[in-house]
Amino acid sequence: MKKRFVNLFILIGFLIIGRYFILFLIEPVDYSIYFNQILKNKTAEHDNKIDMVFVGGSRGLRTFDPVVFEKTMNMDCIFNASSGLQPIESSYYMLKELIERYHPRYAVVALSWDELFDTNSTLAKVIVLDRLTGKNKLKYLLNEFSIDEYLNAVSLCYRFRNNFEADKIHDIVIEKINLSKNHYSERLSYPDLYTDNGFIYSYQNGDIPNYGNISYDPTKLEPKKIEYLEKIYEMCHLNQVHLFLVSAPTTVMTLYRVENYQKAVDFYSDFAETHGLNYVNLNYLRGREKWLGDDLMFDFNHVNGEGAEIVSEKYAQYLNAIIHEEKIQDLFYKDLQEFQSEVHRIIAVGADIYIGDLQASVKVSSRQSDGITPMYRIKISQDNQNFIDLTDWTSETDFLFDVSSYHDTVYFQIEAISTTGEPGCSIFYQMEI
């Protein structure tokens, strides 16, 4: 009998060791491994204390650089615990974990305009699940995951089963070894640099397409998500954590394409006022057209690294003034309409392009403030280097071109300017013939 127990104990030991070995081979570092290690390193340097934490989705992740906040606000330890598509429920549990373990004095929750709609991403949830420990992890799993998500959430071997390939295993192991050698100081996955305080610095700036309209509908706000926003407030109030609410910048194009965008801003403003909190929308910072151009955007929805440093500096100065009860000037536009009144350019241009029967049909559209009249020019290239004009500048929007002299891959450039000569914009398309 005793021998059976010994054998069972040995078997369990081998299974545990085997599991950890398999996970070492197939579990990528971009879920919890890197995050948990840098959080451990960062807090160990400061007696397991954090001055300020950020939680929220990808705009918070790519906008708020703790290094800038530490320097500007004269704080020792600030950490960004945001993650891609992080829902408000996940932000609550992430913040709860950080408050219980590290007792921050300040917390900043980054809120997108569509934060409180009914959306679900298993990937977004498991990223936060892997960062949690103990009872918070268990409560989060039981409360926020459906039964059909459990296997993906609980079994890492199942979740990463597609990494059982020699090339993937090699890349994962090499990255883990290299990160261990540099003590997880930073992780470069171009164009993104993952820093040792949770922030992602991007070296990329991309085209800003003219995407179609989407809408903020107040009747579709999810009560459960509003409840979690309330729970965040109550938790911070109970633990004497000074809570700030913020909307990080997106592109001007996005502000124009979201119908009823101002209603989202008004909802957060009203919530903050009712609860005695501070909320600001950094899209409305005065003069942003001068200091936050499209060249400082990573894509249509996020700032790049250079843009993040500028925004972080401005928001840190603002928070510093609020915390120290200093008098501040009127830094923000009062609403979207006031902001748009100072935008005198073509915001974005795009086109629907269809190729068939050796002809290209091109329908151009653009976004601009009222009173701005756009003009367009279309160019084409076989090699994506030498472009020739298909049109002169024109206010027409529908075109049909003969492309019989082109083959395989062809490239279009769509340009737009205003009739008053204000700076314009352009976008490129790659099409197959």
Alpha-carbon distance of 425 to 346, in angstroms, equals: 7
Domain residue extents for the chain = 2-337, 346-432
Half-sphere exposure of 19 (CA within 13 A, CB side): 9
| Spatial distance between the Cα atoms of 139 and 98, rounded to a whole number of angstroms | 15
Contact 82, 200 (CB under 8 A): no
Q: How many CB atoms lie within 10 A of CB 133?
A: 11
Contact, 364 vs 397, CB < 8 A? yes
pLDDT at position 8 is 60
CA–CA separation, 82 vs 198, rounded Å?
Answer: 7
DSSP H/E element including 389: strand 388-389
pLDDT of residue 16: 64
- Taking only the tens place, the pLDDT of each residue in 242-293 is 999 999 999 999 999 999 999 999 999 999 999 999 999 999 999 998 999 8
pLDDT at residue 106, rounded to an integer: 98
**Residue 142 vs residues 56, 123, 153, 160: alpha-carbon distances, Å:** 21, 16, 11, 22
Spatial distance between the Cα atoms of 124 and 121, rounded to a whole number of angstroms: 5
- Answer for the pair 232, 92: CB distance below 8 angstroms, yes or no: yes
Strands 214-215 and 258-259: parallel
Closest CA to 64 of 74, 77, 54: 54
pTM of this structure: 0.89
Burial status of residue 82 (CB atoms within 10 A of its CB: 0-12, 13-18, 19 or more): buried
Residue 156: its pLDDT value, please? 80
DSSP one-letter code for 213: P
Query: SS3 of 114, please?
Result: coil
Residues 6+ apart with CB under 8 A from 72: 312, 313, 316, 317, 320
Cα 294 to the center of its chain, rounded Å = 16
Measure CA of the first residue to CA of the last residue in the chain; give whole Å: 75
CB 350 within 8 A of CB 209: yes
Q: Are 307 and 207 in contact (CB under 8 A)?
A: no
Q: How far apart are the C-alpha atoms of 408 and 421, rounded to whole Å?
A: 36
- Burial label for 235, CB within 10 Å (0-12, 13-18, 19+), is middle
Tokens of 151: 């296997």
Tally of CB atoms within 10 A around 170: 11
DSSP string of 223-251? Answer: HHHHHHHHHHHHHHHHTT-EEEEEE----
Rounded distance, CA 391 to CA 377, Å?
A: 6
| One-letter amino acid of 3 | K
Look up residue 348 and give its two tokens: 């974005």
pLDDT along the chain (433 residues), means of 10: 64 63 71 87 92 97 97 96 95 98 97 91 91 95 90 82 85 82 78 90 81 90 96 98 97 93 97 96 93 90 95 96 85 93 89 92 92 93 95 96 94 92 86 90
Q: Which amino acid is at 219?
A: T
Fold for the domain defined by 346-432: Immunoglobulin-like (2.60.40)
Instruction: Decide yes or no: CATH 1.10.10.10 for domain 2-337.
Output: no
